[in-house]
Amino acid sequence: EDQVTQSPEALRLQEGESSSLNCSYTVSGLRGLFWYRQDPGKGPEFLFTLYSAGEEKEKERLKATLTKKESFLHITAPKPEDSATYLCAASQAQGAQKLVFGQGTRLTINP
């Protein structure tokens, strides 16, 4: 069964304290690995898509990386506004619009 697992479930950091979120996946025929951010009361907001092992993408304080079995979302010198739930999702070679989501990591950045 296709599965996406994220860890940790929750993470509390001080402002400026860098860390990484993990997403491991078992999906046959992976087409893409996605990262989304979700704020309370809102739908997920797209951050990155990664397609092949070794690929990296960056946006402001966030960098996403992909290996054959997992993806990492690195957060460098985070600010309180980076507090949110970060979701990882995988799509298969077929059914490209169907995403399998992980449970998410709830990130809190204290000032």
Partner 1 sequence: KAGVTQTPRYLIKTRGQQVTLSCSPISGHRSVSWYQQTPGQGLQFLFEYFSETQRNKGNFPGRFSGRQFSNSRSEMNVSTLELGDSALYLCASSLGDTNEKLFFGSGTQLSVL
Return residues touching partner 1 (CB under 8 A).
Answer: 31-32, 34, 36, 41-46, 49, 87, 89, 91, 95-104
Q: CB of residue 111 vs partner 1: minimum separation in angstroms? A: 27
Nearer to partner 1 by Cβ, of 17 and 56: the residue is: 56
Q: CB of residue 77 vs partner 1: minimum separation in angstroms? A: 27
HSE of 35, CA atoms in CB hemisphere, 13 A: 28
Cis check for the bond before 40: say yes or no (omega within 30 of 0).
no
Dist. CA 15–CA 48, nearest whole Å? 23
Nearer to partner 1 by Cβ, of 80 and 95: the residue is: 95
Q: CB of residue 63 vs partner 1: minimum separation in angstroms? A: 18
Question: Given the structure tokens 């490209």, which residue do they identify?
Answer: 96
Dist. CA 90–CA 85, nearest whole Å? 17
The two three-digit tokens of residue 95, written as one number? 């059914």
Nearer to partner 1 by Cβ, of 14 and 94: the residue is: 94
